[in-house]
Structure 1
Amino acid sequence: MRRRTGLAVAGVAALAWGEWLNWRWSRALVGNSGGAAEAVVVLGYRNPQATANFINRWRVRAGIRSIAADSAYDTRVIFSGGATSGGAAEAQLMADYAKSALEFDGRVILEDQSATTWENITNVIPLLEDVDRIKIASQPAHALKARAYLRRQRPDLAEKLVRADDYRSGEWMVVKPLLALYGLWTLRGLKADERNVSL
């Protein structure tokens, strides 16, 4: 009985830890810029098949729900990701999913040359010059990494970063501890000031 209780407590603690860490990452390196024009950058994930995979479908949904209600007509959604294994570009697969499955009919721009997160940011910068707000949609750790890269490459544009709706309490809860562990590994190169939380 005591062992089962200990396992249950450890399980609850792991879930709470994963939830907290993902919540924290979703609020790091963002501000509260105003203005009418916004860009939502949706980052692709390795996608060798002919349709958007599970992770890319979730990222597209997170990107679409990140569009501010008051700026829906002034928003561009930028799908970023190149081809994997000689197939279609991740950006194209995500855009196809947004249009066919989610019936999204807003403004879409494809950035289909990137192979890494650093390249995602480098290649979308020209598409962000004239917007007031920038949202980056992905899993929270990955989005934070991308925001840090934008801050390194173009600090002036990083001032326009605001939160995307890519963290929701309870969503992916069971796998959030694993996502947190993976996130800690992928974010090991970030500096302390690149993890600052904006509340």
Structure 2
Amino acid sequence: MRQRTGVAAAGVVVLAWGEWLNRRWSRTLVGDNGGDVEAVVVLGYRNPQPTANFINRWRVRAGIRSITDDGAHDTRVIFSGGTTTSGGVSEAQLMADYARSVLEFGGTVLLEEESTTTWENVTNVIPLLEDVNRIKIASQPAHALKARAYLRRQRPDLAKRLVRADDHRPGEWLIVKPLLALYGLWTLRGLKPDERRTTPG
């Protein structure tokens, strides 16, 4: 009985750690910038099949729910991702199709269809962000943080406009959050100490 209790307690600690770390990442390198024009950038994940895969579908949902729904903001949703197979449809197009046909999203959509890496995602969406007051990047929290750090490196002036996307909700993906946290620690190992702060410099 004592052993079971210990295992259960350890499980709770691991789940809590995964929850905490993903929450922290979702709140790193973001501010509270004002303005009535916002962009939600949804980053694609490799998608060789002809419809949006599970991860891209979740990212689209996270992006759509990140829209400020107060009627006072002019929002554009930017789907970013190139093709992963020769002659295939881009990740951006697959995500846009899912947003329109399944989620019935009728707002402004822009596509960036050339990127094959996160660095390229950021580089290629910059021209679509020049006139935006508020920038949200939607993906898994660690991946979104990596993209925010890249924007900070490429265009620190635009990085000052970053605000938090709705990419973390308590209990969502709870069981796999520890795995996402471990993977995130590995993918974020190249970030500098000042890119891990909870507020932009």
TM-score relative to the length of structure 1: 0.98
SS of aligned partner of 2:78: strand
Corresponding residue of 1:98: 99
Q: Write the distance in 1 (CA, Å) between the matches of 2:198 and 2:73.
A: 29
- SS of the residue 1:19 aligns to: helix
CA–CA distance in structure 2, aligned partners of residues 6 and 81 of structure 1 = 44
Residue type at the aligned position of 2:194: D
Rounded Cα–Cα distance in structure 2 between residues aligned with 1:167 and 1:188 = 21
CA distance in 1, matches of 2:71, 2:15: 35
Query: 2:80 and 2:112 mapped to 1: Cα distance?
Result: 5
Asked if the contact 1:37/1:71 (under 8 Å) is kept, the reply is no
Cα displacement string for residues 123-147 of structure 1 (whole angstroms, at most 9, x for unaligned residues) = 0000000010000000000000000
Local SS of the residue matching 1:121: helix
8 Å Cα contact 2:112-2:125 kept in structure 1? yes
CA distance in 1, matches of 2:71, 2:110: 17
State the Cα distance separating 1:72 from its structure 2 match.
Answer: 6.7
Q: What is the CA RMSD across the aligned residues, in angstroms?
A: 1.2
1:12 and 2:23 are equivalent in the alignment = no
State the Cα deviation string for residues 31-69 of structure 1 (Å, max 9, x = none). 000000000000000101000000000000000000001
Q: 2: distance between equivalents of 1:30 and 1:93?
A: 28
Matched to 1:130, the amino acid is D
Measure, in 1, the Cα distance between the counterparts of 2:41 and 2:176: 24
| 1: CA distance, partners of 2:2 / 2:93 | 53
Structure 1 position 70, deviation (Å): 2.4
Correspondence for 1:166: 167
Q: Which digits, 9 at most, give the CA deviation of each residue in 1:73-129, with x for residues without a partner?
A: 610000000001222100000000000000000000000000000000000000000
More moved, 72-81 vs 126-135: 72-81
Does the C-alpha gap of structure 1 residues 127 and 71 become closer, same or farther in structure 2, counting only changes over 3 Å?
A: farther
Decide which moves more: 102-111 or 80-89: 80-89
Aligned residues of 1:77 and 1:109 also touching (Cα < 8 A): yes
Question: After alignment, is 83-92 or 107-116 more displaced?
Answer: 83-92
Match of 1:83 in 2: 83
How far, CA to CA, are the matches of 1:72 and 1:175 in structure 2?
36
Gapped runs of 5+ residues in structure 1? none
Q: Which amino acid aligns with 1:74?
A: D
Does residue 188 of structure 1 match 2:186? no
